Amino acid sequence: MVALPIYLDNHATTRVDPRVVEAMLPYFTEIYGNPASVSHRFGWDAEAAVESARAQVAALIRADPKEMIFTSGATESNNLALKGAAASLRRRGNHLISAATEHRAVLDPLRHLAREGWEVTLVDPDPYGLVSVEAIAAAMTDRTVLVSVMAANNEVGTINPIREIGQLCRERGVLFHTDATQAVAKLPLDVEADHIDLLSLTAHKFHGPKGIGALYVRRRDPRVRLQPLIEGGGHERGLRSGTLAVPLIVGFGRAAEIALGEHTTEVARLRHLRDRLYAGLVERVPRIRLNGHPTCRLPNNLNLSFELVDGEALMMAMRDIAVSSGSACTSANPEPSHVLRAMGLDEDLARASLRFGIGRFNTEEEIDYAIERIAGAVESLRAWSADWSSDPTQPGPRATP
């Protein structure tokens, strides 16, 4: 029997893996020193744990551990990357490039910089939500100093060509930042091969604890310099002052170690469950649309528009299944998804969309229950729709699996 409710919102956050909790626990009660305390064993042990975790996190993206700066999460990492780089690069130029489909944790800092006089260009994606190298190249000027494009979209799962974009930026002498929050642990990332200068990530998207993230900052070829946002002690190479949250950092490291060790089998399982959910819904529910790239997408992402059904009403009709209508950070916003609108969806289809995020602890039984529950809820809501009742036999758009 399936235990309810079922959690299918793993893009918003994930359940902490019990192995991660086990690794963290001693650092609350036994190894509780401050890693900045260099005069006694308590501090030394805490520092050793931090540096071990730093190496584990760095291995996820094939970086040097010395290039990893711990933060409170990806939002802080994005702010430090964008505002910190802008403050250091102002003498070289005043133009920043990003995409209209970025997370608010990138778009809002860019709006802040625009108010300070920076010129910001947001390129539009293609209908699949993909940001092309050609669009970035066309937007560049001789005053461009930084490009920020997410590795994979948090709503529709589309994977961007960050290696090609990074190469373009390297050839033009422009810094490249990527928000890899959703991509880390799902896609292979290599900061050298991908020509990445700054990369944001956070633990709670891959079964680590909330409240801890990191920013990769390239040390050479080129050396990236940032102005810190938080000062007061010179921690983290002077880029992020404040006492380090050792238990969270240890959990971050353990989550990274598990993700790296189990990557191949976990990605295959997530893709299988995602495809099972999609196939079941396509079979049961007419007139649904797949949003995002049909193949070049995260293995655990499914974003669907249910024609003539309001997404919020659908979520209310199936309270025993946790999904979302977009980014968790904008769930209180009544406006339709800015990502879907940038991809060209009209307001009705954007409002009819739901995002499903599959995670490590989901099962086939949960997926099968979700298919039946969603299909029933859609059928019930459409029965009350005058537009649907007037012509329920229309075939409507059908997505390509």
Which pLDDT band holds residue 158 (cuts at 50, 70, 90)?
very high
Range of the domain at 371: 6-14+263-385
Same domain membership, residue 178 and residue 103: yes
Predicted confidence at residue 207, as pLDDT, reads 98
Same domain membership, residue 242 and residue 119: yes
Rg (CA), the chain: 22
Is 37 a member of any domain? yes
Which DSSP symbol is given to 353?
E
Residue bearing the bigger pLDDT, 398 or 4: 4
Is 398 a residue whose pLDDT tops 50? Answer: no
Nearest CA-CA partner of 79 in 101, 54, 112, 119 = 112
Tens of pLDDT along 44-89? 999 999 999 999 999 999 999 999 999 999 999 999 999 999 999 9
Same domain membership, residue 299 and residue 170: no
| Mean local confidence (pLDDT), 382-398 | 64
Is 391 a member of any domain? no
Predicted confidence at residue 384, as pLDDT, reads 85
Whether 169 sits among the annotated catalytic residues: the reply is: no
The DSSP bridge partners found for residue 306 are 288
Is 400 a member of any domain? no
Domain final residue pick, 211, 228, 261:
261
Tens of pLDDT along 104-157? 999 999 999 999 999 999 999 999 999 999 999 999 999 999 999 999 999 999
Is 386 a residue whose pLDDT tops 80? Answer: no
Tens of pLDDT along 203-229? 999 999 999 999 999 999 999 999 999
pTM of full prediction above 0.85: yes
Is 399 a residue whose pLDDT tops 50? Answer: no
Same domain membership, residue 306 and residue 293: yes
Same domain membership, residue 270 and residue 121: no
Predicted confidence at residue 397, as pLDDT, reads 42
Is 1 a member of any domain? no
- Rounded to a whole number of angstroms, the distance between the first and last alpha carbons of the chain is 29
Same domain membership, residue 205 and residue 107: yes
Predicted confidence at residue 393, as pLDDT, reads 55
Is 312 a residue whose pLDDT tops 70? Answer: yes
CATH number of the domain where residue 180 is located: 3.40.640.10
CA-CA-CA-CA torsion sign (359, 186, 126, 397):
negative
Is 392 a residue whose pLDDT tops 50? Answer: no
Q: 198-202 and 288-290 as β-strands: parallel, antiparallel, unpaired?
A: unpaired
Same domain membership, residue 208 and residue 63: yes
Predicted confidence at residue 332, as pLDDT, reads 55
Same domain membership, residue 292 and residue 170: no
Predicted confidence at residue 233, as pLDDT, reads 86
Is 183 a member of any domain? yes
Structural domains counted in the chain: 2
Percent of the chain with pLDDT over 90: 92
Burial of 274 (C-beta count, 10 Å sphere; 0-12/13-18/19+): buried
- Preceding peptide of 65 cis, ω within 30°: no
Tens of pLDDT along 161-202? 999 999 999 999 999 999 999 999 999 999 999 999 999 999
Is 393 a member of any domain? no
Given the residues 329, 348, 368, 379, select the one marked as catalytic: 329
Predicted confidence at residue 69, as pLDDT, reads 98
Is 394 a member of any domain? no
What is the CB-side half-sphere exposure of residue 73 using CA atoms within 13 A?
12
Calpha distance 108→284 (Å, rounded): 40
Domain final residue pick, 261, 286, 303:
261
Calpha distance 60→185 (Å, rounded): 7
Is 328 a residue whose pLDDT tops 70? Answer: no
Predicted confidence at residue 390, as pLDDT, reads 56
Percent of the chain with pLDDT over 70: 95
Calpha distance 224→84 (Å, rounded): 10
Integer CA distances (angstroms), 399 to 91, 175, 246, 290, in order? 48, 37, 46, 5
| Mean local confidence (pLDDT), 373-390 | 87
Same domain membership, residue 102 and residue 47: yes
Is 398 a member of any domain? no
Which pLDDT band holds residue 326 (cuts at 50, 70, 90)?
low
What does the longest C-alpha to C-alpha distance in the chain come to? 78
Same domain membership, residue 275 and residue 193: no
Same domain membership, residue 297 and residue 219: no
Same domain membership, residue 277 and residue 244: no
